[in-house]
Amino acid sequence: MNILVINSGSSSIKYQFFKLPSAKPVCFGLIERIGLPNSGIVHKVYADGQEKVISLTFDIPNHEAGMNEAAKLLTEPGIGVIQNPDDITVVGHRIVHGGETLTKTTIVTEQVKEEIKKIFALAPLHNPGSYQGIQVAQKLFDKATHICVFDTAFHQTLPEKAFRYAIPQTFYHDEGIRVYGFHGISHKYVTDKALNYLNNPKAKVITIHLGNGCSMAAVNAGKCIDTSMGLTPLEGLIMGTRSGSIDPSVLIYMMTQLGYDIKQVSNILNKESGMLGLTGYSDMRDIKRLIEEGDHNALLAFEMFAYRIKKYIGAYTAALNGLDAIVFTAGIGENDVLIREMICQEMDIFGIRIDEQKNSSRISGTHEINDVSSLVKILVIPTNEELEIATECMELLNEQKALQIS
C-alpha cells in the first residue's frame, strides 16, 4: 500500500512516503517558509542503502505551490518514488485538533472538512494549515483515499473528572471548553511499543514527550486517563517557548496592571516564555552549554523543567494507582542524558532508579536506562508519528474491508 503522510502547518509542510507493510519511509520532504522570503524544499530519497538529498530555494507563495513541487519530486525520473500521482493509494493527514466530534481516524468527507473548519478557533496555528493541506492534496492526488488522523484522538478516553475544568458548565456544554490534550499520535505510538516491550497489555505507563513542545500522558492498559496539555498546547509542562501551566491571575495582572492587551499576553505565553524566557534560548543544547559555563539562570531553568515533570509523575502515579514504566520520547526525551537524569533523581519513593551508565550510552531503538534495583522500568523509545499515521490509515481501511466481506 502506497501511503503519503502529510503534516501541514501554517507555513510549512512535512511529508513522508511509505510502501507498507515496510516501516521504513521511502522518502521524506520538508517545505518551509511558505509565503515568506527564502522559502524552499528539502527532499530526501532512501534507496539501496543510500540517501539522496535535493535542496531547493525559491518562492513558494502558498500551500498549493508547495505540494505541486513535492508532487514533481515524487515523480521525477532518477529520484522519483512513483511514476505519477495516481500511484498514491492513501494520503494520511495529521490534524492537531479534532474537538469532540472527530474522535478517531476517519476518511475525509465534506462533512469532516466542515467539522475541522468549525474548530479553527481551538487550534488557530494548526488546523487552518491542515485544512489547506487537505484541500491541496485532494486536487493533486484525486484518486487516493484521504484519511485524517487526529492528535487529540488518543486522549478521548479521559474520564470526565479529568477533562472538565471547574468553571461554569455552560463553557463546556455550549463552547466545548475542556481538556483535549495533544501529541496523541506520538503518545499512542510509544505506548504501543512500551506495552509490547513489557509484554504486558495491562501495564500502567507514563509517557513523556519532550521536544520544543512537551507533554505527558498517564496510560492504563493502553488507554489514556490523563494528559498535561489542555484546551490548547499551552497548558502543562515548561516548553521551549511556552510557559506551561500558570496562575490565571498572572494574565489578569499583566492586562489590568501592566497594560498588555490579549494579543501581547498570548504572544508572551506562547512564543516568549518557557526556556526561552528563562534563559534567552529555546534549544536545550544552547542551554546545556550555558550550564557548563556556569550560568545560574540556565541551571535554574533546567531544574524547573525537570521539577515540573517530576510533579506530574507523582500525580499520574497516584491517578494510575501504581506504575510499571515511564517512557521518554521525542528530541529531548530521546537524546538529553542530563534532563533524564535530573527527572529520575530522588524518585525512590516511587521505586524509580536510573542507571547513569545506561542513561549515558548511545543506543538506538527501544532500551532500558533503569537500575536493576528499580521497581519501575525507565524506557527510551524513539517516536515515529508519520509511521503511526500510516499504520492507522492502513488499519482503518483493513477494518472497512473486513466489514464489507462479513
Residue positions annotated with a catalytic role: 151
- What's 289's DSSP letter? H
Which segments within 48-157 are labelled E, that is strand? 50-57, 90-95, 106-107, 145-150
Only one residue has cell 487552518, namely 128
Sign of CA dihedral 253, 258, 264, 270: negative
Only one residue has cell 512537551, namely 214
- Cα–Cα dist 209/214, whole Å: 6
Biggest CA pair distance of the chain? 67
- Cα–Cα dist 49/307, whole Å: 42
SS3 for 325-365 is: EEEEEHHHHHHCHHHHHHHHCCEHHHCECECHHHHHCCCCC
Cβ distance 240 to 261 under 8 Å?
A: no
- Cα–Cα dist 136/134, whole Å: 6
- What's 372's DSSP letter? T
- Cα–Cα dist 18/391, whole Å: 10
- Cα–Cα dist 249/344, whole Å: 32
For residue 184, give the nearest of 226, 146, 137 by alpha carbon: 226
- What's 159's DSSP letter? -
| Alpha-carbon radius of gyration of the chain | 22
Cβ distance 267 to 261 under 8 Å?
A: no
Q: What amino acid occupies position 261?
A: D
